[in-house]
Amino acid sequence: MAIKERKTLQALRGMVDILPEEQGYWRYVREATVSVCEGYGYGQIDTPILEDYSLFSRGVGEVTDIVEKEMYTITDKGGDTIALRPEATAAVCRAYLEHGLHNKPQPVRLYSVGMPMFRYARPQAGRLRQFHQINVEAIGDADATIDAEVVALCWQLFRKLGLKGLSLQLNSIGDPKCRPGYVEALRSYYSQQEGRLCRECKSRLERNPLRLLDCKVPGCQPLIEGAPRSADYLCEECQAHFQALTRYLGLMEVPFTREHRLVRGLDYYTRTVFEVQTSEEGQQNALGGGGRYDGLIEELGGRPTPGVGFAVGMERVILNLKRQGIEPPASPGTRVFVAYVGQEAKAQAVGLVSRLVRSGVSAMLGPAGKSLKAQLRQAGSMGVPYVLILGDQELEKGVVVLRDMTRREQREVGLEEVIEQIR
């Protein structure tokens, strides 16, 4: 085992610490998520970070970048191949099967917020190797009302967060009945242009033609523009489903545009796909997205069960909150700073801080070995409203000096009454 010794240790590449001054944003996003999801009747679920490798090779797809190149795979001490969760949907579906949730009224509405995910990819702005997601899944109902609910919930979440300039893109990619015809049309269109394709697209043409529409290489864009559209290949049922979805979204006052290039490359995705994007130019403009995955649970060994959901990257959301100058509500901070001079006063101050906190008043002990002036300076820079000062004189009299930092005045208060006075 290679262990680096006597070096200054740092967090791993693409993995970051979230310091106290950042937590306000996280709390803000978490609280908005809980409020919107619970508002729609979704229940929170947390799943383990580690899962059986095959859950993701089956549930995400063996030939995806995520499983092929980006998944953290570990052989544990028992010799089993396990993986750090790269996404949530497969794990939530596993939990649905494992706990017999199909016996409950359908659909089962679930969400998670702040679960860490792991992908070994090149770190860039808003994209880390350990990142955090909001996930919403509604499992067990194929009706378009549920697609509409999930899309509307996603949109409402961004509205609640106060983000501006977002757009919602929507498409239908058909089902196992009509999609093969569309994929064939794509394959034949692209085969005639093979010489003009980028390297990556050549391999997509072999393995996963739908993903051809995802290509970001400039040279491939004209080809995408001219490519066959899934809309023209939908069977009657898929068309009716999409029409119902758009009608419901209208009634829910959710604005959307149809984006023909929006696809998901795996077989178990069906019909609805959607994405929420920022208007800014750049690679990382998708804040979240999802769709219907009616084939997934069967892929994981369950009976055929429809499902629809989405994922939102929390780092990207926070990045955009900052860009748009949206400040989370300030946390209340410490109310009382307890300064002291002398050994016995120190001991009494320790007890006083503890009593304050137990009575529900946030309090902090002054630093050891510092002059009273230095302690007061620290209290001032923290912006606490009250400072309590304890010295030998005060101890003798059984009092403490209560200093009101906003009014800049102070008075003596009995040690027994001080908590009442502040609270």
Q: Which residues bind Zn ion (CB under 5 A)?
A: 174-175, 177-178, 198, 201, 215, 217, 220, 235, 238
Rounded-to-integer distance, Cα 163 and Cα 312, Å: 14
Tell the smallest beta-carbon distance from residue 33 to Zn ion (Å): 33
Q: Are 202 and 194 spatial neighbours (Cβ–Cβ below 8 Å)?
A: yes
Tell the smallest beta-carbon distance from residue 205 to Zn ion (Å): 10
Q: What is the DSSP letter of 192?
A: T
Helices assigned H by DSSP within 131-197: 144-161, 179-191
| Distant-in-sequence, close-in-space partners of 98: CB < 8 Å, separation ≥ 6 | none
Tell the smallest beta-carbon distance from residue 133 to Zn ion (Å): 27
Nearer to Zn ion, 203 or 359 (CB): 203
Q: 102 by DSSP, 3-state: which?
A: helix
Tell the smallest beta-carbon distance from residue 307 to Zn ion (Å): 17
Nearer to Zn ion, 24 or 181 (CB): 181
278 CB-contact burial (10 Å; exposed 0-12 / middle 13-18 / buried 19+): buried
Nearer to Zn ion, 172 or 375 (CB): 172
Nearer to Zn ion, 235 or 372 (CB): 235
Evaluate the omega torsion of the peptide bond into residue 304 and state whether it is cis, within 30 degrees of 0. Answer: no
Chain-centroid distance, C-alpha 272:
21
Q: Are 372 and 393 spatial neighbours (Cβ–Cβ below 8 Å)?
A: no
Tell the smallest beta-carbon distance from residue 384 to Zn ion (Å): 58
Nearer to Zn ion, 82 or 170 (CB): 170
Strands 286-292 and 399-404: unpaired
Tell the smallest beta-carbon distance from residue 212 to Zn ion (Å): 7
| Distant-in-sequence, close-in-space partners of 231: CB < 8 Å, separation ≥ 6 | 171, 172, 258, 260
Nearer to Zn ion, 186 or 341 (CB): 186
Nearer to Zn ion, 222 or 398 (CB): 222
Tell the smallest beta-carbon distance from residue 183 to Zn ion (Å): 12
Strands 81-84 and 73-75: antiparallel
Rounded-to-integer distance, Cα 423 and Cα 408, Å: 19
